Structure 1
Amino acid sequence: MDPQKQQYYNKYPPAGGPPGQPGQPQPGYQRPPPGASYYSPTGSPAPGQPPYQQSPYSSYNVPQGPPQTSQHQYQPQQYPSGPPQTPGQYTLPQPYTPQQPQQGQYGQPPAPYTQWGPSSQQGPPPSAYSQVPTPYPPPPQQYGGPQVAPQWSQSQYPEPGYGYGVPPTPASPGYDLAQRAFVAPVDTSADVETLRKAMKGMGCDETVLIRVLTSSKYENPWTMAQLVGDYNKRFIRDLAKDIESETRGGVETALLALIRGPLEQDVRVLIKALDRAGTDEDALMDVLLCRSNADIRAISAEYRRLKGNDLLVDIKDDVDDTLFRLYSMVLSATRAEDAAPVINSDIDHKVTELQRATEGTIGANAVSVAQIFTNSNSAQLNAMSRTYERMYHRSLEEVIEKEFRGDMEDALLYMLENAIDRARFDAKRLERPLYKTPRKDRLLINRVVSLYWNRPRQDAAKSAYQIHSSARTSLRAAFRSVLSGDYEDLMVALIRERK
């Protein structure tokens, strides 16, 4: 028999024997309660019995000896449940409750996870935006030892507008395939027949092409893509090749830009701008500067698909080192999202850095200025412009014009003017190629078609054109006075004006 059981039977012998003998209870015997263990209920051995060894709580993995500490643990007075207990006084663990972090310097911490604990079957609360990593509190330590409270460092809460707590700016229409699921298909059967009839046989009825392709039915890039796809399937032909063979000049360039959609057109503009004959810096700025991070990523991926090369590699071969540094920052897609707030203390700090990098040094630090410009959204750049003039009594535009030359000056002014007044900026972008000698039709078409896919921005540009243009006339009147023929009709239709 087990020695411990023998000790129990010596103290509590079974009934049936003579007193004092096995089988009879001893004098003063009291029957133990049902389910009593072989050990003394008081935790100490019976008189005259050897002490027993308490078995470890294997299910809780209680360590023997004093609790271990490390440099990553809080001091005892910081434990949420009090100081650690001495050896031999471990109690059952309490449910783990994460501590709510204190408010950081740059914004609010995430909401406390009151429904998530080690005993809950519910997972961590989903993040509102999967692109933004959510710092979860560390898991509790093993039961029985001191638990480590969640440690929240300031680095886990980046500045608002630079990656945390700010919704990402959605991609522009036509730049994300997921948008297609939210666009209802349209009936294109009659229109594809009309397009084929207009280009079939001798000659081409360009008026019909303009009327169909600029119809309000195809104002969305995805309905335009459906029209092109349905035409190609219906006639086993390529609509782009048919237009190339049947049209000429500005009409051909504008119609091709229209049916390609905004994303493919941007990439085609980049490919043309970076050819070996010379770099078209205006086209390069139109496509890449002041764009959302989502659009930049889409353009880089589509360029790689169509051209087979990395966009940044091709840019490096065509521009100087300083401008390459600027475009490498742009293509890194680290611009503050449009919803990022304007923080006055941050604006003041950046304005000071801009002054040090321009007027405050001999020879402007172009890389520092480019980094501030490319990492800020339009609202933040506008705030910097106003703050710079308030602090140093001169406009930021004048400083850039004084400290920089050439393509770098043009790129910085492009971003700054777009941030200060985008409608006026767009109006000037339409006026310059229209009245330049010789007229730059391709640049004008690229800018008109890019505005066509963004109607609110186009309407604002048309209103600003009448106010800020040199002739103080409407954009429609400017096209009528400078352009002619089907090209004139197409450009007027692209700004949603009719005869």
Structure 2
Amino acid sequence: MAGRGTIKPQSGFNANADADTLFKAMKGFGTDEKTILQLLTSRSNAQRQQIKAAFKNLHGKDLAGELKSELGGHLETVILALLETPTMYDVKCLKHATLGAGTSEKVLIHILASRTCSEIQAINAAYKQEYGKSLEEDVTGEVTGDFKELLVVLLQANRQQGVQEANVQSDAKALLAAGEKKFGTDEDTFVTILGNRSAEHLRRVFAEYTKLSGFQIEDSIKKEISGHLEELMLAVVKCAKSVPAYLAECLYNAIKGTGTDDKMLIEIMVSRSEIDMLDIRAEFRKMYSTSLYKMIKDDITGDYEKTLLLLCGGDDA
């Protein structure tokens, strides 16, 4: 997957020069948003961290704080997101999702279903360090039932490696017995298998499941399970098949719904810009017969639109 991002490190990079450019863009009357957004979207995350440090050294000020006081709205949100390290950005999004009135289950689902075990381990460690309590504590304090159980299993980040040949058939049979063949559904079996097996093992299990039952696993989940647990299980299944395809679907729904889900849109565009945005774009094109670029262009406006288009990195029309 390496090199499937749209944002690359800038060659001939100079952190001090960039820090000065940003300082000048915010100095005096009016802010030069164009310079800010173009500079920050043409540097890698590691380079942005160096710019932050250089800005502090040269000007004695916190770059994020300065930008926050100069920008507003969704542009501010996306620019500040670009200044976080990838792990810290996930940590803050997850913290936000468990705060205040109404947990944002959608955020918990799309982050925890789409991250690798090592990414989740890094998130857990950084979360604990930042907030003094574990992410698991914060999550379990907000949600209940089998939805909570599956989130906890995902937070353990303890998936088996590779394919357990001996278990492919028995896992498929166990899922069938727990769902389609049972009066009422045995959610525990679904939680255990979906939460603990590797993506490649699950793909084999799903193929076997279809052979045994004549159904796609997604159809059975939709029939047997409902609410947030259904959404989370479907996300895990889709991510086992293809993380870029799952995130393309999340982006489509974020833009297409009644009113744009800017939080989801920004989270995915920022967090995947150096990982697999090219793959997400390709899946998007395949699934929706239009390009992600065009859809952003049609639905978003202003400097916020320009920033998202730069993260998108091009059109696949």
Q: Give your verdict on TM over 0.5.
A: yes
2:32 corresponds to 1:205:
yes
Alignment of 1:173-184 (within 5 A): none
Give the one of 252, 262, 272 matched to 2:86.
262
2:274 corresponds to 1:447:
no
Partner of 1:381: 202
The Cα shift of 1:283 comes to 0.8
What percent identity do the matched residue pairs reach?
Answer: 28
Q: Which amino acid aligns with 2:119?
A: D
Q: Secondary structure at the match of 1:296?
A: helix
Distance 1:422 1:290 in 2: 6
Partner of 1:496: 313
Q: CA RMSD in A?
A: 1.9
The Cα shift of 1:185 comes to 10
Partner of 1:350: 171
2:128 corresponds to 1:301:
no
Q: Secondary structure at the match of 2:283?
A: helix
Relative to the length of structure 1, the TM-score reads: 0.59
Give the one of 259, 278, 285 matched to 1:459.
278
Partner of 2:104: 280
The Cα shift of 1:304 comes to 1.3
Distance 2:239 2:301 in 1: 30
The Cα offsets for residues 379-437 of structure 1, whole Å up to 9 and x where unpaired, read as 11111111101111111111101110000000000011122233322221111011111
Partner of 1:370: 191
2:298 corresponds to 1:481:
yes
Distance 1:226 1:379 in 2: 37
The Cα shift of 1:361 comes to 2.3
Q: What count of residue pairs does the alignment treat as equivalent? A: 307
Alignment of 1:164-179 (within 5 A): none
Give the one of 258, 264, 289 matched to 2:113.
289
Q: Which amino acid aligns with 1:224?
A: R
Q: Secondary structure at the match of 1:439?
A: coil
Q: Which runs of 5 or more residues in structure 1 are unaligned?
A: 1-169, 174-183
Relative to the length of structure 2, the TM-score reads: 0.92
Contact 1:292–1:335 (Cα < 8 Å) also in 2: no
Alignment of 1:226-237 (within 5 A): 226-237=50-61
Distance 2:270 2:15 in 1: 22
Q: Which amino acid aligns with 2:152?
A: S
Distance 2:186 2:12 in 1: 52
The Cα shift of 1:294 comes to 1.6
The Cα offsets for residues 133-182 of structure 1, whole Å up to 9 and x where unpaired, read as xxxxxxxxxxxxxxxxxxxxxxxxxxxxxxxxxxxxx9xx9xxxxxxxxx
Change (3 A) 1:458 1:320: same
Contact 1:250–1:487 (Cα < 8 Å) also in 2: yes
Alignment of 1:81-480 (within 5 A): 186-215=13-42, 218-219=43-44, 221-337=45-161, 340=162, 342-454=163-275, 457-469=276-288, 472-480=289-297
Change (3 A) 1:332 1:422: closer
Q: Which amino acid aligns with 1:385?
A: F
Structure having the higher helix fraction is 2
Change (3 A) 1:325 1:277: same
Q: Secondary structure at the match of 2:84?
A: helix
Distance 2:169 2:311 in 1: 42
Q: Is the radius of gyration larger for structure 1 or structure 2? A: 1
Distance 2:286 2:210 in 1: 25
Change (3 A) 1:185 1:326: farther
Contact 2:269–2:311 (Cα < 8 Å) also in 1: yes
Partner of 2:8: none
